[in-house]
Structure 1
Amino acid sequence: MLKQLSAMFILGSLALSAQAVELTEEQRAAIEARLKPHGDLCLSGDSNCAGAVMASADSSAGGSDISGEAVYNQACMACHSSGAGGAPIVGQVDQWSERLAKGRDALHQSGLQGVEGTSMMAKGGRADLSDEQVMAAVDYMVDNSQ
């Protein structure tokens, strides 16, 4: 009975965490402050976004002028900072050495097309990213993992 209740609690928590959440002004300001070093970014619905890169709250890496580091922070960091799904952690040279030996072009292709038999999906599951953004993020990870 305890296992069933525990499983129900976990499933309920996952369901709640997957729902969209309205952000308070304070939360929006905190997000904006974290992203500011990477360029101007506006969440959809913001009124003062003239000339800035537009993004929805769940798709915040839009725009081809965003740096590889910014794309990494927005789209890749979840797995490549924790090792989730077997992803090599940025900065852990030993985890990247075999991959680096294949060459940068091969790593770009892995980022763009995914890696069969692993949890690495094409473009990290972010179809909204341009090829250039994905390659810039790969370059950022490689440059910080040698």
Structure 2
Amino acid sequence: MSHESAIRTPKQLVAAVVGFFAVTIIGIVLLVQFVTQEKLTGAGSESQSAEAVAARLKPVADNGFTLKDVNAPKVLQTGEAVYTATCAACHGTGAAGAPKFGDAGAWGARIAQGQDTVVKHALEGLRAMPAKGGNPDLDDVEVARAVVYMANKAGAKFKEPEVKQAAPAAEAPAAEPAKG
């Protein structure tokens, strides 16, 4: 018995090798395309549609982010809102020596100093407390409201601070008509 090869000439050998590589490469390309078919993210794919982009951004947008107009008049927060957002971190637990919310004993000496002094300390900072409780975006009236809220819950009788109205802009004198 003799073994005879199907490849008898060099041309047949080259054709067989090229054919083998072509089939292998085509197989790999098809396999990769099959595996990544759902994950295409190029321009024109479904992943770039407005709905898909909005769905990806939704978790970020819903995380308390609000776009504010810097030219809009500022709406001042209540003392309770400022306390909850800024002051409760320390005054809720008594961290760093802060008088705990509602603790008449801890607030007694501060209340005895008077509203103006306590508000001044809150605005400028005192000991471990930074100015405005660490929130520089707060208006002075908002800080004063938070101080009044906390002190009154500890037994003080502080009055809510008055909001100073912005002075209306003086009207410019009417321009004289041109003489000519």
Query: For the Cα contact (< 8 Å) 2:123–2:132, is it kept in 1?
Result: yes
Q: Which amino acid aligns with 1:142?
A: A
Deviations 1:44-85 (A, max 9, x none): 35xxxxxxxx49xxxxxxx44211100110010100000011
| 1:121 pairs with one of 113, 127, 130 | 130
Which residue in 1 is equivalent to 2:66? 44
The structure number with the bigger radius of gyration is 2
| 1:76 pairs with one of 68, 83, 87 | 87
Partners of 2:76 and 2:135 in 1: CA distance: 17
Query: For the Cα contact (< 8 Å) 1:71–1:133, is it kept in 2?
Result: yes
Where has structure 1 moved over 3 Å in runs of 4 or more? 22-25
Deviations 1:110-142 (A, max 9, x none): 110011xx2111101111111011001101101
Unaligned runs of 5+ in 2: 1-56, 156-180
Q: TM-score normalised to the size of structure 1?
A: 0.58
Q: Which amino acid aligns with 1:71?
A: V
| Bigger RCO of structures 1 and 2 (CA < 8 A, at least 6 apart) | 1
Unaligned runs of 5+ in 1: 1-21, 32-42, 46-53, 56-62
Which residue in 2 is equivalent to 1:108? 119
Partners of 2:58 and 2:102 in 1: CA distance: 32
Question: Is 2:167 the partner of 1:145?
Answer: no
The alpha-carbon distance between structure 1 residues 91 and 127, as it changes in their structure 2 partners (threshold 3 A), is same
| 1:134 pairs with one of 126, 135, 143 | 143
The alpha-carbon deviation at position 24 of structure 1 amounts to: 3.6
Partners of 2:58 and 2:128 in 1: CA distance: 30
Partners of 2:93 and 2:142 in 1: CA distance: 21
Query: For the Cα contact (< 8 Å) 1:64–1:133, is it kept in 2?
Result: no
